[in-house]
Amino acid sequence: MRYFITGTAGFIGFHLARRLLEEGHEVVGFDGMTPYYSLRLKEARNAALVQFPSFHAVMGMLEDGELVKDNVSAFRPDVIIHLAAQAGVRYSLENPKAYLDSNLVGSWNILEAARDIGVGHLMLASTSSVYGANPGIPFHETDKADEPLTFYAATKKSTELMAHSYAHLHKIPTTAFRFFTVYGPWGRPDMALFKFVKAMTEGDEIEIYGEGKMSRDFTYIDDLVDSIIDLSRILPSEDNRVPDIDTLSHQAPFRLVNIGGGQPVGLLDFIETIERLMGKPAKRRMLPMQKGDVPRTFASPDLLVALTGKKPEISLAEGVGAFLEWYSQHRQDIG
C-alpha cells in the first residue's frame, strides 16, 4: 500500500515509517525539520529511512498548504497518517503561536489534501492531554474532554473536531488516536526518559516535578506502531461498531481510539526502574508541579482491544532496557 506520513523525522513517525517500509509498503514522509530539539537526531532518523528505495522524503512545513496538497496529489496515497505537530506541553506556555500554526493551520491543510484526493483512510494523532485533569479513571474515549489545561491540548482537541467535520462533510473515513506517554529508542530529548538517562549518565541531577507524585500510562513505541497499523486496516463503519463503548460517530465515518495499556506507573517507580537497569542512583531534585502538567494519565484500552484484539503489553523494564541499549550506542552521534 501507499502511505503518506507527516513527521517521519520525528520519534513516532520514524518508527512507523520504518516498520511499513520493512513490510514492503511505499511511504512518502513529510517533515519540516524544525529545531524544537536536536536536528542531528532528526537527520539520523531520516538517514535511516532514505536507505529504503520505497521511501521518499519531502522537506517542508505543514503551514505551506500548496506544498502539502501538491505532494499528496502526486503520490495519491491509500492512507494518510498525520503525526507531525508542534509537541511538548511545557513549550506551549512559551511559544503558543507555534502550536497555532502547526497544529491547527497545518492540520487543516492535511484535511484539505485528504478531501482533494478522496483518501481511503485518514489517521490523526491526538494526545491523552485532551483529558486534562479528568478525575474519572481510567480515561475512556467517551469521557468529556472539554477542559484542556494547555494550549497544546486545546489544539489537539480542536484537530479532532475539525477532522470530524471533514469526515461528515466529505465522507472521509477518519480515525483519531490518543497517545499515552510514548517512549523507546530514538525518542525525543525533551521527554522524561531521555532527560533522566542523559542526566544520570553525565552525573547531573534529574528534575522531578510534582514532588514525584505523578503517574503516567507509559506506552512502548513498538506497541504503539502495532496499534496504528492495526487500526489503519479498520475503517470506521457501522459494520464494526462496538456496542456501548464505541466513539464511532452517528454523523460521520469517524472514530476516536485510546492507544495505551491501562497500566499507569508512578513517577518514582519509573525512576527506580531506570536506576536499577543503569546500576546507579539518580541525584534527585524535587520540584513543584509545573503549570499545565496533569497529575496522572490512565488509558482505558477497551475499545482498542475490541477493535484489534490486543493492547500495549511491553513491560516498562523491557522498554527502558531497549532505550538504554540504543542510547549507549548512539549518544555520541546525536548531540
Catalytic residue among 152, 183, 220, 327: 152
CB 221 within 8 A of CB 185: yes
Could you give the C-alpha distances from 170 to 121, 175, 177, in angstroms and in order? 12, 14, 20
Instruction: Round to whole Å and give the CA distance between 39 and 334.
Output: 8
**What is the DSSP track for 248-312?**
--SSSSEEEEEE--S--EEHHHHHHHHHHHHTS--EEEE-PPPTT--SB--B--HHHHHHHS---
Whether residue 99 lies in the annotated active site? no
- Helix (H/G/I), strand (E/B), else coil: 329: helix
- Helix (H/G/I), strand (E/B), else coil: 114: helix
**How many Å is the Cα radius of gyration of the chain?**
19
φ/ψ of residue 74, rounded to 5: -70, -35
φ/ψ of residue 155, rounded to 5: -70, -35
Catalogue the active-site residues.
152
